[in-house]
């Protein structure tokens, strides 16, 4: 495609995805899409356009399985790593470079947004995130307020700027956030849970307070994700990591309206990847909630998902992360099956969830090379 025609398409794209600077971030730059990013393998797949080969990135691609990550992590706490922009940038850039993936994803975490909302968050060694003042009493709902200013999360946006300035010009940077249900569950449970008893009790017994909590989370997340876009990310992924505990009826009543509201408010600014894990029965409702790209975990047959959405949306996924502990012949077989299943529309190869800490870096590199070597999958 000629340069003049590229410029016209990029201009139209930038008019569609309008960056409206947040009132409390008057210094936010207008990070318009460049021609190199617009024509990148990843962004073409997002739009469902032909690509030379399927793009690939890996959830948690900057993580404990990488020696380079562990070298940085050994010197600081996890929260320090998240809150020091130069370190978050370093591990983000290293993962993209080492693996040769088609997109970088901002190194951050889902939960720090809960701190300015009034929750006491700590990452305990060997225990993961713990909230010391969980919302267990519906009468205390006003203790949890929408984020008063996204400036409270300024370290995230500073990391975005540092990463974008150093990434190759044709490699998009992805931002992300948690979906309202997953963040509400953390806020109520106070940490991990098997049955989400406290969350469901609040949801069922106190619908008015549940609605207020979800609305405050949506308001906070919309501002947070748009601020990431303003700082320089090209797309965002929203994670509903815990919503698989719900049946479809509960999802439609208590979750769908809020996730749909979140995505609909962010999508005018940049493409949204909607990722849900743990329950294939929610797939149709996940699609209803929106997103230009539907992220699929390994529990669903990608060919069936393609039949369901047709070419109207791009798909992302969906190799089981544990497959990478098997023989290479199995990894190759499953990867080729997924690439074939993704045909008929935009497809971004990924794992069905995050890469596991014990995974071999060489196996991940080999996987990325295989996807690229397989060529076009239209």
Could you give the residue numbers annotated as active site?
A: 60, 64, 73, 109, 186
Asked if the peptide bond before residue 233 counts as cis, ω within 30 degrees of 0, the response is no
């Amino acid at each position: 495609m000629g340069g003049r025609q590229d410029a016209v398409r990029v201009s139209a794209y930038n008019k569609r995805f309008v960056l409206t600077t947040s009132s409390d971030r008057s210094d936010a730059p207008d990070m318009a899409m460049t021609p190199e990013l617009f024509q990148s393998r990843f962004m073409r797949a997002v739009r469902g356009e032909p690509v030379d080969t399927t793009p690939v990135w890996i959830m948690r691609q900057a993580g404990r399985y990488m020696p380079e990550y562990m070298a940085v992590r050994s010197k600081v706490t996890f929260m320090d790593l998240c809150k020091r922009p130069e370190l978050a940038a370093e591990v983000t850039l290293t993962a993209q470079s080492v693996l040769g993936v088609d997109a970088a994803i901002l190194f951050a975490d889902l939960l720090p947004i809960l701190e300015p909302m009034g929750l006491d968050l700590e990452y305990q060694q060997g225990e993961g995130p713990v909230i010391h003042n969980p919302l267990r009493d519906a009468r205390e709902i006003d203790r949890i307020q929408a984020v008063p200013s996204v400036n409270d999360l300024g370290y995230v946006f500073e990391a975005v700027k540092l990463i974008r300035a150093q990434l190759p010009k044709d490699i998009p940077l992805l931002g992300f956030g948690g979906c309202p249900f997953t963040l509400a569950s953390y806020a109520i449970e106070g940490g991990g849970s098997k049955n989400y008893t406290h969350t469901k009790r609040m949801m069922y017994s106190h619908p008015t307070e549940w609605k207020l909590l979800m609305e405050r989370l949506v308001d906070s997340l919309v501002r947070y994700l748009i601020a990431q876009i303003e700082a320089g990310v090209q797309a965002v992924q929203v994670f509903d990591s815990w919503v698989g505990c719900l049946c479809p009826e509960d999802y439609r009543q208590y979750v769908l309206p809020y996730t749909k509201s979140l995505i609909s408010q962010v999508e005018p600014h940049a493409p949204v990847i909607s990722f849900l894990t743990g329950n294939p029965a929610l797939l149709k409702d996940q699609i209803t909630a929106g997103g230009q790209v539907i992220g699929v975990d390994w529990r669903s047959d990608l060919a069936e998902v393609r039949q369901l959405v047709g070419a109207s949306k791009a798909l992302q996924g969906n190799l089981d992360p544990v497959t990478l502990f098997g023989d290479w012949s199995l990894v190759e077989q499953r990867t080729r099956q997924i690439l074939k299943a993704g045909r008929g529309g935009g497809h971004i190869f990924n794992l069905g969830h995050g890469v596991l800490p014990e995974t071999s870096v060489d196996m991940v590199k080999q996987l990325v090379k295989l996807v690229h070597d397989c060529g076009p999958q239209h």
